[in-house]
Structure 1
Amino acid sequence: MRIFGLIGFPLSHSFSKKYFTEKFSREGITDASYELFPLQTISLLPDLFRSQPHLRGLNVTIPYKQAVLPYLDQLHPAAARIGAVNVIRIGENGSKTGYNSDYFGFTSSLFEWFSQVHKDGSVEDIIKQCKALVLGTGGASKAVKAALEDLQINYISVSRQPAQNQLSYDQLTEAILKEHTLIINTTPLGMSPDTQNFPPIPYQYLTTGHYLYDLVYNPEETVFMQKGKDKGAFVLNGLPMLYGQAEKSWEIWNSNE
């Protein structure tokens, strides 16, 4: 029996076990199981590897997408470029290779979303006309930024503190929001169980021309999304990205490369 799973902390919000368990049942995959491995500290990862000899792959979630890097033997070039890992492939010899499927999940879900919103236009042209605000600086934001760069979408990073090439939430003005119509929340703000939290952007400046993409998927509609809908903005949660990155994870774990 091959074992796959998810590391992070906490994991009460995760849909991954349900997703893969249903996938295995639906597709008749009888030699695999998917488990949750909540690690209070990333230093416990070697103990997990030792205690699970049949472990063949892991997903990595908050807060370990960057902290996991020193525990890997090698990185796929895309993961090295992004600087964050959310998929670990464990070889028969125990070698551990880090990958990033968030990039794929975000890109595919963004195109699917814009295709649904703009059925009569060229989605690629519409996407390239956007400018984005990326809320947060964690591991997920790195994959999102790499995808935006490849899509030729100009973006500004936003966090609690201003820094080089980065604004603080307090520095967001009406003019900035008017120019940057795609707003992507890569932080855990609003994630279950703290569902009343939300990124402190000036929501009063949102319009019907804005797109709010929340990488949080539990709850299905966050306060961030609700505030966007109240202004007529288009909103999307992180479930499509989850599905996309999950399928990419399965592809990585089962690749012959």
Structure 2
Amino acid sequence: MQAGATEARRAAVLGSPIAHSLSPVLHRAAYEELGLTGWSYDRFEVDEAALPRFFAELGPEWAGLSLTMPLKRAVIPLLDEISETAASVEAVNTVVFTEGGRRVGDNTDIPGMVAALREHGIDKVDTAAILGAGATASSALAALARICTGEVTVYVRTGTRAAEIRQWAERLDVAVRIADWSDAEQALSASLVIATTPAGATDALARHIPERPAALFDVLYDPWPTTLAARWSAYGGAVVSGLDLLVHQAVLQVEQMTGCSPAPLAAMRAAGERSLARG
């Protein structure tokens, strides 16, 4: 049993909506495996307006927070420090409260993406495509800055999104080409395709998968598999799921919040799979 395992410590995930979040399942599984009997992990429905008050009411028993939309940017003014990774995309998904009372923000989505890809044998790619240009696309760009040696093509629906992606690419020093969503089927020939779109958005692309597809990273995990992921796998291509991402970023959160390393990835994944299977 870890030192301080029976000490009452709290952590939680915040966001709006939040009822669907698998984070409590993953973190609680980690605490059980690590013998952290005094630790608890909850979920709270918190929007941008309510976030400052939530922070103001936190006591010394709090170890950390996981943040989902729409709080990843809104939390930054409330923090004492953010990591270079979080600053690179102006998004914080992890807050750790230090013994000195400082609030430190980080982004585990980016290294979580890289770790999930590496687990599937994807360390370097020469071309990549991103489907969609929302908040997750910026994290995907940051991850690709670490593993893609060539151009990244981003398929967008609107000019506003295109302008934002160009800004992120310049900031992250990634060579980017912007393409219209109507040409998204061309993305499927890239060495790595990252789908960051909502459920159903890529279904029509499934019929355009090449005979020998390379790798697909679909950030969704419920429902799973997506139509695109199922067809991709049937054609023999490598598929990385949103659950892979969720588990790997949660592993990093557990390690930062608890100080216990390594976090029990296998136990956390198994807990997530059981929860999704129950529906």
TM-score (norm 2): 0.75
Structure with bigger helix share is 2
| Residue 217 of structure 1 pairs with residue 221 of structure 2 | yes
Give how far 1:13 is off: 2.2
Structure 2 equivalent of residue 30 of structure 1 = 37
Structure 1 equivalent of residue 4 of structure 2 = none
Are the aligned partners of 2:213 and 2:232 in contact in 1 as well (CA < 8 Å)?
no
Q: Distance in 2 between matches of 1:8 and 1:168?
A: 31
Relative contact order higher in (CA < 8 Å, ≥ 6 apart): 2
Give how far 1:232 is off: 4.8
Structure 2 equivalent of residue 183 of structure 1 = 193
Q: Distance in 2 between matches of 1:79 and 1:69?
A: 9
Q: Are residues 67 and 111 of structure 1, via their aligned partners in 2, closer, same or farther at CA, if it must alter by over 3 Å? A: same
Q: Deviations over 1:72-113 (max 9, x none)?
A: 222112211232111111234543221011112111110111
Match of 1:140 among 116, 136, 140: 136
Give how far 1:254 is off: 3.6
Q: Distance in 1 between matches of 2:135 and 2:79?
A: 16
Are the aligned partners of 1:135 and 1:183 in contact in 2 as well (CA < 8 Å)?
yes
Match of 2:56 among 50, 55, 60: 50
Amino acid at match of 1:146: A
**Which segments of 5 or more consecutive residues in structure 1 lack a partner in the other structure?**
116-122, 191-196
**SS in structure 1 of the partner of residue 49 of structure 2:** helix
Q: Distance in 1 between matches of 2:156 and 2:204?
A: 10
Q: Distance in 1 between matches of 2:192 and 2:24?
A: 31
Are the aligned partners of 2:128 and 2:152 in contact in 1 as well (CA < 8 Å)?
yes
| Residue 5 of structure 1 pairs with residue 12 of structure 2 | yes
Q: Percent identity?
A: 27
Are the aligned partners of 1:66 and 1:139 in contact in 2 as well (CA < 8 Å)?
no
Give how far 1:3 is off: 0.8
Amino acid at match of 2:55: F
Q: Distance in 1 between matches of 2:128 and 2:196?
A: 12
Give how far 1:230 is off: 5.5
Give how far 1:252 is off: 1.8
Q: Distance in 2 between matches of 1:157 and 1:72?
A: 32
Q: Are residues 220 and 172 of structure 1, via their aligned partners in 2, closer, same or farther at CA, if it must alter by over 3 Å? A: closer
Amino acid at match of 1:44: A
Give how far 1:138 is off: 3.5
Q: Are residues 201 and 65 of structure 1, via their aligned partners in 2, closer, same or farther at CA, if it must alter by over 3 Å? A: farther
Aligned pair count?
235
Are the aligned partners of 1:198 and 1:224 in contact in 2 as well (CA < 8 Å)?
no
**SS in structure 1 of the partner of residue 133 of structure 2:** coil
| Residue 228 of structure 1 pairs with residue 232 of structure 2 | yes
Are the aligned partners of 1:90 and 1:96 in contact in 2 as well (CA < 8 Å)?
yes
**Which segments of 5 or more consecutive residues in structure 2 lack a partner in the other structure?**
1-7, 167-177, 261-279
**SS in structure 2 of the partner of residue 43 of structure 1:** coil
TM-score (norm 1): 0.80
Q: What is the Cα-based RMSD across aligned positions, in Å?
A: 2.4
Amino acid at match of 2:66: N
Q: Deviations over 1:4-41 (max 9, x none)?
A: 111112123211101111221222102211000122x2
Give how far 1:244 is off: 1.3
